[in-house]
């Protein structure tokens, strides 16, 4: 007896935008395991609080004034630079894992943001952004009337 396997092609398909995001986030051009250097990603968490989005990014060793945050439409960009505290002139490193240099992360947000009400807080090496949703993005309740 043979069995029939039903395939759902839509379940396996990925949108072009998701595929491109995955390509750039996980490619050899921008490896996630490095911190520092050109084009390296920052680890971030994004969640929806209903009336706003919250973004948390780990940026240890950076001063708040060295962080540049910009929002264009539904795109958030966080960039800056980590700097070495000291240079070792005469000495051989046993191990050097901390990276120094420029970093940048660009994220597509699920909706438009009210940029005039954005709040940024930097505490213990973690950047917390509160991004209020624009009025047109917030769901509106419509009451049904009867005659």
71: domain CATH number is 2.60.40.790
In a domain, 89, yes or no: no
56 half-sphere exposure, CB direction, 13 A CA radius: 7
pLDDT at 68: 93
Tally of domains within the chain: 1
In a domain, 18, yes or no: no
pTM summary value: 0.60
At 21 the three-state DSSP class reads: helix
Pairing of strands 101-108, 75-82: antiparallel
In a domain, 120, yes or no: yes
In a domain, 16, yes or no: no
In a domain, 64, yes or no: yes
In a domain, 24, yes or no: no
In a domain, 13, yes or no: no
pLDDT at 37: 43
CB 43 within 8 A of CB 58: yes
Chain centre distance of CA 12: 25
Could you tell me the mean pLDDT of each successive run of 10 residues in the chain, 147 residues long?
67 65 61 45 86 91 89 89 68 68 87 90 93 79 83
pLDDT at 122: 93
Q: Is 80 exposed, middle or buried (0-12, 13-18, 19+ CB in 10 A)?
A: buried
Sheet with 67-72: list strands edge to edge. 67-72, 75-82, 101-108
- Give the residue among 40, 57, 29, 25 at the shortest CA–CA distance from 99: 40
In a domain, 129, yes or no: yes
For 56, the domain range is 35-84+100-137
pLDDT at 46: 93
């Amino acid at each position: 007896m043979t069995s029939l396997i039903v395939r759902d092609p839509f379940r396996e398909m990925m949108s072009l935008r998701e595929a491109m995001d995955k390509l750039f986030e996980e490619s050899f051009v921008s490896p996630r395991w490095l911190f520092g250097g050109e084009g390296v990603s920052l680890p971030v968490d994004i969640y929806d609080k209903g009336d706003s989005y919250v973004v948390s990014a780990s940026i240890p060793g950076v001063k708040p004034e060295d962080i540049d945050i910009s929002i264009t439409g539904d795109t958030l960009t966080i960039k800056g630079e980590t700097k070495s505290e000291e240079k070792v002139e005469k000495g051989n490193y046993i191990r050097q894992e901390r990276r120094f240099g420029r970093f940048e992360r660009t994220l597509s947000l699920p909706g438009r943001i009210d940029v005039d009400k954005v709040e940024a807080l930097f505490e213990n090496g973690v950047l917390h952004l509160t991004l209020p949703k624009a009025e047109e993005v917030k769901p509106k309740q419509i009451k049904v009337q009867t005659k």
